[in-house]
Amino acid sequence: MNQISPIQSSARQMAAPKKVAILIYDQLCTFEYGIAVEIFDTVQSITAPLYRCETVPIESGELQLAGGLRTSCHAQLDDLSSFDLIIVPGWPPHKVISPEIADALQAAMKAGARFMTICSGIFLLVRAGLTQGKTITTHWQYIDQLSAEATNANVEENVLYCGDAQIMSSAGSAAGFDLGLEIVRQDFGTKEANRVAQRLVLPAHREGGQKQFVPRPIAHPQKGGLAKHLDQVRQQLNEPWSVTKLAALCHMSERTLMRRFQESVGLSPSQWLNRERVYFARTLLEKDHFTMDEIAQKAGFNTPETMRHHFRTQLKISPARYRGQFLAKIKDG
């Protein structure tokens, strides 16, 4: 169980909730808006509220939402710079933005606000001029349009979400849940993210990329799915899981296992295993009583050097720096 030290717990209780703005606009994507509300406005910690949300209209007048709902509000663009996190719940890919919206978003970014976009929401930030040099993504249907438009950004085609410390974007609408949980984890740790995921009856971490969700011919149902076997591997990550051993566990040939992994997960067995080990190691790094050697052994990396290699490959950060940043964030609130 992920324990919080008394010092960390006290700091969390004293910290003010992070301010979150959920943007609203004409033709708002109501499902994506609901995702933001469910994760950031409904969530409550055992010790203290984690976030305080406000709906911020970025267009004035009577707004008609997707599905025919209507709302009347006035733009409050000047308030955006006061928020810690700004969520863009979709944005119609054909929709242009006004100079006032662009100026407000740029000012918020300069003030240090973070941005989370869901599905097509990244187009708003592209058109506001915020994505130069950033790594971004969107729904697979819009990838070509995004690549053509965001020529000064790095567009990822096969991820559920991506980004850096200030701009993070998700693929399809449901990937907004994955990204939201990741942001909760970054802010408050794996324990809080897992608790939110449990409330929403969602996996705390999904593997693979969005290629696995691209339409394909419907296959006949097959017996002996991977899920139960992968759950067993997750419970024994310290074991040396070779492809031969995994194939035997799943009662498949090695060739069949490789094919089924690509079809079901979108990764090779070794890629999946390394991602699971990094994810598990992160939960251990968030506790201050395990040494690097102990964490490397428990996660199945065996040596801190191997663990460091996979952290840098996947997260672009070392385990020690990850721990230091997480503990500092908890202390500072």
pLDDT tens digits for range 205-248: 665 555 434 443 333 334 446 878 888 898 899 999 999 999 99
User: Looking at residue 186, what is its pLDDT?
Assistant: 87
What is the C-alpha separation between 50 and 333, in angstroms, rounded? Answer: 10
> Does the pLDDT value for residue 68 go beyond 70?
yes
Alpha helices in the chain (DSSP H): 6-14, 30-36, 99-110, 122-127, 143-149, 175-188, 190-200, 227-234, 243-249, 254-264, 269-285, 292-299, 304-315, 319-332
Q: Cβ(111)–Cβ(168) under 8 Å? A: no
**Exposed / middle / buried, residue 317 (Cβ in 10 Å: 0-12, 13-18, 19+):** middle
Give the pLDDT confidence score for residue 6 in this predicted structure: 37
Distance CA 23, CA 131 (A): 18
Residues 187-202 pLDDT 10s: 888 888 888 888 887 7
Q: Domains of the chain, with CATH numbers? A: 16-200 (3.40.50.880), 225-332 (1.10.10.60)
3-state class of 172 per DSSP?
coil
